[in-house]
Structure 1
Amino acid sequence: MGGAEVGVGADADVKTETARVRVVVLTGAPGAGKTEAGRRLVRRYQVPAALIDTDAVADVYPWQADERLYAVLGRNLRACLDSYLEWGARVVVLSGVMLPGRTLDQFADLLADPRLEWVFYGLRARPEELAARILADTKVQEADGRLSWSHLDEEVATVPGIRQLETGALTAAQVVDLIAAAEAADLPPGALTATTPPGPLPVTPTGTTGTTENAAAGARSVTPVSAADARSACADALGRAGFPPPVAEQAAAELVAAETDGQPSHGLLRVPEYVAAVAAGELCPTARPRVHRTGERAVLVDGGRAPGVLVRRLLATELGRAAQGGPVVVGLRDSGHLGRLAPLGREVAGQGLVLLGFVNFCGAGRKVAPAGGTDGRWATNPLLLACPAPPGAPLVLDMSTSAAAEGVVRAALLAGTEVPPGLLIGTDGAPVTDPRLLYTEPPRAALAPLGGIAEHKGHALAALVETLAGAVAGAGHAAAPQGPGNGGLFVAFRVDALGRSGAAVGTAVSALEQHLLAGPRLDDQRAPRLPGRAVRPPHTPDLLTPPTALWQRIRQLASTDLTKGIAPCPIPC
C-alpha cells in the first residue's frame, strides 16, 4: 500500500493516486465495544493509520439525535478524514454508530467514491450484555441515555455487506484479534499484525439479526456465585473505583443482602451503576455527608454525593435523637443512591420510634407516567413507613409509588426477560412488556403509576413525595432538577408520644395480625401478612444466581484500576 494523497472534502481533487485508502468502520449499538476495539485495531496496521471516534467529533451537550446533529457529525467526520488523508493515512479506522437512516447517510457520495475502499464490521451483543457494559463503562456519559439506544443492535444487519461479529463471549483483545485476522486476509502481506484467533471469524450473514434461539437462551444464562465471593468481588470493584475499603465492604454487603432477600433490583446490578456514577462525577466515593442545624429539632443533611450507605448511617443517627425528646425532622439533599430504605426503617423503629420517610431523585430519573399520561414525569419516589411493635418485628413499608421500582425493569433487561404486564405502558397507553422500551430515545415506554385502574392514587402519592422531598426539603424536583442522586424528608417520633406504651402498640399489632390470618385465603402459600413481617427462610441463602454477563462485568471491574482518568471529587471530601 504505497503513499497517496486523496482529498475527500466537497471541492477536493485527487492529487496523486496509487492505491485506494481503506476506511474500516466499526459500528454497533452503544456498549458493543466499538471505541476500545478501534483504539486497539489502529495500532495493528503496519502502514500509516488513523482513528476517528464519533464520540469525540460530536461531543455536544445536550445531545439529541436529529438531522442537525447528523449534519454536524457528517461535516466533522469529513474534515477529520480529509486531514488524515492529507497527512498520508492509508487506513482510517472509524468507530461509531454508522447506520443507514442515521450518520451513514451523510456519506452516500463517499461510499461510492472509487478512491476509497470501505469495509464494515458490525459488533453485536445481546441486550443484557450491552446493558451490563454500559452500566460499568467509565465514559462520562449518562448511562440511561446510552441504554436507550440498545435497539440499534438490530439495525446493524441493515448495512450492506457488513461483517457481523458476536462479541458477547469475547474479550476486547479477542474481538480485535478476529477483526485483524479478517483484515489480514484482505490486505497485502505485512500490512497488518494479526494474531491467530482460536477459530474462524464468527460473522453472521447480512440480513439476519444474529439473536436467534441460542442468543435467547444465552440471555437467560446465570452464574451460580457464593454470597461470600459476591461480596468480595463487589467490594473489589467498588474499591477499584475509589471507594475506601470499609465503605466498599459495607456497600457490597448491602447489595448482596438485597440479592439474598430476593430483591435483585437493588442488588449486584448496582455495582456497574455506581462505578459509572463515579466516572461521571455524580458520586464521590470518598465524600462524607454533613449536618446543618436548621432548628431545635430539625436538621438538613447535605449528602455531598457520598455513597448511600454512609448517608443512611447519618440519617439513622439524626433520627435516633427523637428517642431522647420530641419529634425530629430531617431533610436530605444531594445523596448518592440510598439503596433499600427498609433497613433504615428497621433500625429507627428498633429504637422505639415511628418513622415517616419520603424520598425522591432530586428531580431526575423521570420514568413514571402520571395518571392519564404516557411519558415519564415522576421518578419512582418511594415511601418509607416504620412502626415498632414489640415484642415482634417492627412493621416496615418500603414502597415505590410506581407499579414497580425502576431496578425491576433494569434487572429484567440484564436477564434478557420480559416484565410482567401492568408495569410498563407504551406511548399509546397500552401495556408493554419489553424492558428495552423504557430506555429508548425518546422512551417508548414509561413505568405505570401505582394503583392499576386506580392509578390516580399512585400518582397522588408520587406528587406529594416530590413536593415534600423536592420542595420542602429543597432537594430539587421534577420541574427544577438539581442533578442525580437522592433527596428526602424524614420525620421520627417516639411510639409512646401519644400516651400509649410501646407494649400496648405491640399487642394491638399482634391482634391485627391474628385478624388477618383468621380470614379465608387463596392458598397456604399466600397468607395475608403485615408489612415487614414476611416469612423468611431459617438460613440466609448462600448461593446467588446473577446474569452471567453481569457477573463477568463485575469481575472485570474488580480487576481493573478505574481511578485513572477520573477527575478528583469537586466537593470537600
Structure 2
Amino acid sequence: MGSPFEDAVRCANTLLYADIRGIDSHGVSNMMRFYIDGIQSGGINPAPSWTIVRDSEATATIDCDRGLGLTIGPIAMDLAIEKAQKCGIGSVVATNGRHFGAAAFHAHRAVEHDMIGIAMTVGGLQVAPTFASKALVGLNPLGVAAPSNKEAPFVFDASMSSVAGNKIRLARRLGVNVLPGWIGTADGVPIMEEQPVPDDFVMLPTGGTREIGSHKGYSLAMMVDILSGVLSGSGPGFATRQGVSHHFLAYRVDAFTELDVFKNDMDSYLETIRTCPPAPGNDRVLYAGLQAHETEIKRRSEGIPYHPEVIEWFHGLLPELGIPDPLPVL
C-alpha cells in the first residue's frame, strides 16, 4: 500500500507484539482494518517524510508527516534511548502523527537496553470528563516498562478510559455486551448495567463514576494530553492543530543508581507481589506485564489464535490489494 519495506516491518512488529502478548485489541485482528481504511482515505501517509524539527542533547520534537506511530514510534523511542545513553534521560515528543498501537511496545523497547521506558499518546476525543455532557479528552494510553533480572519485567499499558476504545469496537464486531461503567450515554450519563454497544455513546474515564475515582482517571488523561499534544506544540486534543501527538521517554538506570541494585530490587518487589497470598475467591496476585509475559511464552510455542472472522476478512482483503493469499482456508 505504498509503505517502504522497513516501515512495513516496523508496523508488523508492533502489531505482532500485541498479538503475541495477548493484547488482542491492538493486534492484527482489530487494528489492520482501521489502518487500511486510513491509508485508502488519505488520512494516513504510508510513506511519511518525518523530520526532527527541534533537537537538543536530551530532547527532540518530531513531525511525523501524518505517518503511523507504528512506524515512527519505534524510531522516536530509539532516539530517546540514544539520548538517554548520553544524558541519562531522553525525551522525544512527536506531532502530526497517527495511531501508534500498543503503548507497551514502545515502552518495552527501553527494557532491552536496561532502561525504564515510558510512552504515551493522545488517543482521539472519546472520553467525557466527570460530570461532563460530552467527550473532551482522549483515551490517552500510557505505557511504562522497567527491567528486572529473574522476574518478568513490569510492563504497564492502559488507556485513561474505563477500557480501551478498541475493546468497545471489538465487542460490537463480535456481538458481545459491554459491562457496567465502561461507557456512558451520548450526553455523558454513566451506563451501569450490562448491555449491547449502543449506536451513540461516550467513553467513561478510568473509574467510571465520581464515587470510584473517575475524576482521577480523566485528570490523568489530561496529563497525557499536556505532555504529548500541548508540549509538542499541537495543542490539546479537542483543538489539535496537527493530528495525533506522542511522547517517548527513556531513563538510563545507572545514571541514577547501580543497575544491579535496581534490577535486584525490582525482582524482590515483583516476586513479593506475585507470591502474596490471594484474597478469598481469587487464584493469585498479578502485576502489570506478568500475564502478558506468560501469554507470550504460550503463543510462541503454540501459535497465535485468531478468530475465524479475522481469517475470512484477510481472505477477502488480499485479492483487493493484489497480494497473494498464503493463509489456509478454514
The aligned residue for residue 180 of structure 2 is 421
Separation (CA, whole Å) in 2 of partners of 1:346 and 1:525: 29
2: distance between equivalents of 1:297 and 1:253?
A: 27
Q: Which residue of 2 aligns with 1:493?
A: 251
Read off the aligned partner of 1:371 and give its amino acid letter. T
Alignment partner of 1:375 is 2:134: yes
How many Å apart are 1:552 and its aligned residue?
2.8
Match of 2:50 in 1: 289
1:106-162, Cα deviation, whole Å (9 max, x unpaired) = xxxxxxxxxxxxxxxxxxxxxxxxxxxxxxxxxxxxxxxxxxxxxxxxxxxxxxxxx
Aligned mates of 2:49, 2:19 — CA distance in 1: 26
1:506 maps to which of 263, 271, 284: 263
Structure 1 runs not aligned, ≥5 long: 1-240, 563-573
The AA in structure 1 aligned to 2:110 is: V
* Counterpart amino acid of residue 559 in structure 1: P
Pairwise CA distance, 1:456: 1.0
Amino acid at match of 2:217: G
Residues 344-368 of structure 1, C-alpha deviation per residue, up to 9 Å, x if partnerless?
212112212223333113xxx2111
Deviations 1:178-234 (A, max 9, x none): xxxxxxxxxxxxxxxxxxxxxxxxxxxxxxxxxxxxxxxxxxxxxxxxxxxxxxxxx
In structure 2, the CA distance between the partners of 1:255 and 1:356, relative to structure 1 (3 Å rule), is: closer
Deviation at 1:435, TM superposition (A): 5.4
Report the equivalent of 1:11: none
Does residue 251 of the first structure (1) align with residue 11 of the second (2)? yes
1:54-89 deviations in Å (ceiling 9; x for gaps): xxxxxxxxxxxxxxxxxxxxxxxxxxxxxxxxxxxx
Indicate how the Cα distance of structure 1 residues 353 and 432 shifts in structure 2: closer, same or farther if over 3 A, else same: same
Whole-Å separation in 1 of the counterparts to 2:38 and 2:159: 22
Pairing partner for 1:542 from 267, 279, 303: 303
Following superposition, the deviation at residue 265 of structure 1 comes to 1.2
Does the 8 Å contact 1:369/1:446 carry over to 2?
yes
Distance 1:523 1:245, change over 3 A: farther
Please give the residue correspondences for 1:144-223 in structure 2 after superposition, counting only pairs within 5 Å: none
User: Are residues 490 and 544 of structure 1, via their aligned partners in 2, closer, same or farther at CA, if it must alter by over 3 Å?
Assistant: same
Q: Deviations over 1:337-393 (max 9, x none)?
A: 1101212212112212223333113xxx21111112243221100112222223544
Where do residues 53-68 of structure 1 align in structure 2 (5 Å cutoff)?
none
For the residue of structure 1 that corresponds to 2:213, the secondary structure is: helix
**For the Cα contact (< 8 Å) 1:287–1:305, is it kept in 2?**
yes
| 1:470 maps to 2:226 | no
Is 1:520 the equivalent of 2:277?
yes
Deviation at 1:530, TM superposition (A): 2.8
What residue in structure 2 maps to residue 389 of structure 1?
Answer: 148
Give the structure 2 partner of residue 401 of structure 1: 160
Between the aligned partners of 1:394 and 1:253, the Cα distance in structure 2 is: 19
Aligned to 1:328, what secondary structure does the other structure show? strand
In structure 1, what is the equivalent of residue 63 of structure 2? 302
Query: 1:434–1:255: structure 2 CA closer, same or farther, 3 Å change rule?
Result: farther
Match among 11, 27, 35 for residue 274 of structure 1? 35
State the distance in 2 between where 1:383 and 1:393 align: 19
Q: Distance in 2 between matches of 1:306 and 1:296?
A: 25
**CA offsets 1:468-513 (integer angstroms, 9 cap, x no match):** 11111223323312354x3122332211222x21111112122222
CA distance in 2 between partners of 1:260 and 1:524 (Å): 29
2:234–2:242 CA contact under 8 A, matched in 1:
no
Structure number with greater CO (CA < 8 Å, separation at least 6) is: 2
SS in 1 for 2:95: strand
Which of the numbers 315, 318, 324 marks the counterpart of 2:76?
A: 315
The verdict on how the C-alpha distance between 1:370 and 1:295 changes in structure 2, with shifts beyond 3 A counting, is: same
CA contact (8 A) 2:144 2:155 kept: yes
- Tell me how far 1:309 sits from its aligned partner: 2.6
Q: Work out which of the residue numbers 206, 224, 245 in structure 2 matches 1:450.
A: 206
Q: Compared with structure 1, are the counterparts of its residues 495 and 435 closer, same or farther at alpha carbon in structure 2 (3 Å cutoff)? A: farther
Check conservation: 2:17, 2:105, Cα contact below 8 A: no
Please say if residues 475 and 488 of structure 1, whose CA atoms lie closer than 8 Å, have aligned partners that are also in contact.
no
Identity of aligned residues (%): 23
Output the CA distance in 2 between the equivalents of 1:415 and 1:518.
Answer: 36
> How far 1:536 sits from its partner (Å)?
0.8
- Residue equivalent to 1:232: none
Corresponding residue of 1:123: none
Cα drift, residue 257 of structure 1:
4.1
Q: 1 CA distance for matches of 2:19 and 2:58?
A: 36
Figure out how many residues of one structure are paired with residues of the other and give that number: 312
Structure 1 letter corresponding to 2:202 = A
- The 8 Å contact of residues 125 and 135 in structure 2, kept in 1 or not, is answered as yes
Q: Distance in 1 between matches of 2:175 and 2:61?
A: 41
Unaligned runs of 5+ in 2: 323-330
Is it true that 1:557 corresponds to 2:314 in the alignment?
no
**How far apart, CA to CA, are the structure 2 residues paired with 1:543 and 1:358?**
26
Deviation at 1:433, TM superposition (A): 4.3
- Specify the code of the residue in structure 2 equivalent to 1:345: A
The residue identity in structure 2 corresponding to 1:399 is: A
Is this contact kept in 2: 1:374–1:425, CA < 8 A? Answer: no
The 3-state SS of whatever aligns with 2:148 is coil
* Residue in 2 that maps onto 1:460: 219
Query: Secondary structure in 2 aligned to 1:513?
Result: helix
Tell me the secondary structure at the aligned position of residue 536 of structure 1: helix
Distance 2:283 2:132 in 1: 33
Give the 3-state SS of the residue equivalent to 1:278 in structure 2.
helix
- 1:339 maps to 101
Aligned AA (2:99): H
Distance 1:393 1:301, change over 3 A: farther
Amino acid at match of 1:446: V
- What amino acid is aligned across from residue 458 of structure 1 in structure 2? G
- Return the TM-score normalized by structure 1: 0.50
1:330 maps onto 2:92 in alignment: yes
1:311 deviates by: 0.7
For residues 418 and 333 of structure 1, the distance between their equivalents in structure 2, rounded to whole angstroms, comes to 35
Is 1:532 aligned with 2:289? yes
